[in-house]
Chain A
Amino acid sequence: MKRFVTFCTCSYLIIAVFWGSLAFATTDMVAEASKRSTNTQQVELGAYLARIGNCMGCHTAKGGQPFAGGRRLATSFGVFVTSNITPDKNTGIGLWSEEDFWQTLHHGKSRDGRLLYPVFPYTEYTKVTRQDANAIFAYLQSLPPISQSNPASDIAFPYNSQILLALWRTLFFKEGVYEPDFSKSETWNRGAYLAQGLGHCNACHTTRNVLGASQDDTLTGGEIGGMNWYAPSLSSRLEAGLSDWPIDEIVALLKTGVTERSMTLGPMGAVVRQSLQYLSEKDAHAMAIYLKSLSDNDSKISSGVNFSVMTGSLRRYLDFGGQLYEKHCQTCHGTDGKGAPGIYPALAGNRSVTMKSPLNTIRTVLHGGYPPTTQGNPKPYGMPPFQQILRNEEVALIVSYIRNTWGNRASLVTAVDVERSQGGTH
């Protein structure tokens, strides 16, 4: 009997130990698995946020390895070369901690304390929350490490001075996570958070002073130094303000790059293809709500019409442009300038054509282009380049014509304007 009890106790003990260890193992495995799944969740979130921040767009050389850097960004202050942000220990950010990464995204300082140039739009990314920053970091750390050293940036004197940069930062860099405006809806705040932070719309759509600092954050539009493109005001109905657009159409523009009345060009096409098309429906909606709410700010914008009456001689001058239009453009954009909505943009009533700066219109006539390929518009139609066919005077005539026909009214353009629009990159 005793033996039996002993046996029982023993086996009980054994069983208990067995169960115990099993239970232990299971909780451990559960904990491990849930850690892993929060980790995968965090990585997935980070992947999404990195898209919205378009980190890959800048941190990948043309035709190069994703996130390994080496892309050259031409600016008015020199040529900047982006860094390798894959987790390679020697050439990337493999040795970085979450804290180091936060210091970069939020404070604009590298791991070694070096002040970073605002070409890296930390002036906007500073609004990103710590939690979102950590997710992006987790995602970057999950990428395959790529060993690639990139050449140093070639920054012009005197901008290459860290002291000057420190001064610039005290003057123009407002550090701080996005603060919600409680008088507005949660959706609006989400949209504002995305547009002002990760989406860094203000990195391009802003008026800059000579030191390259954004003048305010109301998206009033400006020329992008080094790129030779004009990013229109998002708060003026004379330019690209969206206050009178239906929300669905704004969502369509962000996610597909084209709508019945508008098509994204050049750098904005790249932003849509690389970044905005991946917005979730909910976030696209939120961003649209925010963009639509931007107050009309027409006061700072003038139409820039530089003549008051359409005289007979002016009309005859424009007619030369009209003949060229008929020969080269009409088959796509139509005799009435109405185009084929969603395929060939209307030029009649198109703000992108009539806004004060003729830069984008001239560029488009010279170089042509395709709207971006996106999930919603995988096979776009294209606009041919005319640089190899038309002389600058002829381009000036055509552009003046389309800016002043079908009810359009804007300043005339000269061959000198056309000359000035050449060069620059995308």
Chain B
Amino acid sequence: MPTLTPLLSIQHTSKTYDGTPALVDAALDLMPGEVHALMGENGAGKSTLIKILAGVVRPDRAEIRIDGQPVSIHSPKEAYDRGLRFIHQELQIVPQVSVAENLALSQPYPRWLGVLVDWRKLHQQANRALERLGISHIDPRQSMARLSVGDRMLVKIASAFANSTQAASIYVLDEPTAALNAAESQRLFAVIRELKTQGCGILYVSHRMDEVFEICNTVTVMRDGRVISTQAIQQTSRGGLIRLMTGREVSHAYPPRTQPHGQQVVLEGHGLLNGVDFQVRAGEILGIAGLAGAGQSELLKAIMGALPATVGTLSLEGQPMTPAHPADGWEKGFAFVPQERREQGLVLSRSVRENISLPHLRRLSTSGVLLDVGRETRLADDLSKQVRLKATSNRQLTRQLSGGNQQKVVFARAMAGQPRLLLLDEPTRGVDVGARFDLYTLIRQASIDGTAILLASSDLGELLGLCDRILVLRRGRGATVVKAAGLTQHDLLALCYG
């Protein structure tokens, strides 16, 4: 077989943040027609490598070649002009403007006589870009701010694939499916396969093993900033990859229920979101399933008191309850992991410690007023250890953590004390395979300790593996509750569409 020139070749690439290495002498080759998985634990350095390629982070050292030619990339514009396209892990959108404008952010707008924006043409372009991913439910004239998280991600993905004047040959996708459901992911994979046959190269970051085995040819594993192996996908196995990533033996079985849950009903809801009824008992894990936007997040927010006006009634241990503010929820011993870690979960400009303690400040202070930093620090350190947080210290700003580690901070703070009710909205999004099972063990432990748990997830395996019963939401058409035991993913999906 003749040796091909790689489309993209990265050698000797390093980056240090304030003395802590994030990337150490990394190297990677991307061939034409290859879908190349980049895997590694949270904080391994995947996004750092990608941001260097995109010209948004300046490396300490880097040797990058495109089609064999050495290049240096100093800005996103240069990366774009060299035919690289990116979907970054953290959404970069301009919420104030329309979908069509967001789709055209990296290109010049079509214009009349080079001056006035040709809106019709812009909207046509946008429609074509969306159609390519089979998206018909998003109007390009809509303001970006009004879209759901999943839809925003779809727009972002569409913008990377939008036809442009400069030909693109290299696509770099950093956890594009983290906020997508199964059907949306499949449409993305179809586009990826098409690009592959056209000879493009795709660098693909994901924590989802199934996808990696489904669409990738090659897999590179990183650990602690170093590239430690590159293999053809056929030569590896799930277990092998996990061992390479974590350097330890990780169970990838869901922690089973070891004793029956309690009988006392903790929370009961009637007629919520136009006709959703449910009960959850002490120690029970009630899953919440449904297609994207079926009301999973609204339901959890309504229970927490985070929505302005809520239809339906709620009762807590038999007493009627009308939560008016999330503060009420936390005071009653509810704990909440919201869906969006960066928009709804974290104060990125503050430290790990302050983010973990924020809902618990009253308990962590002298007479509710004076901060007790000692107790706060102990709580933060203890919880960080339980979720295997990778941070330089509890004083590190959450802005500086990797995506998965940010998610772990939001999760950790919900586990403080022993919550009466745990409301989890996509709690493991972006968390690596190894750490994910640590979080599952914590959820199981809370259930054994008697916490009632509501778990909304688009990961059907997660729902089936942990839950006792599952509430399936169908937007505007009521809901059903099913027992999880004996159900397959296929059954559950059918119920969602049902």
A and B form one complex: no
Q: Report B's interface with A, CB cutoff 8 A.
A: none
Q: Report A's interface with B, CB cutoff 8 A.
A: none
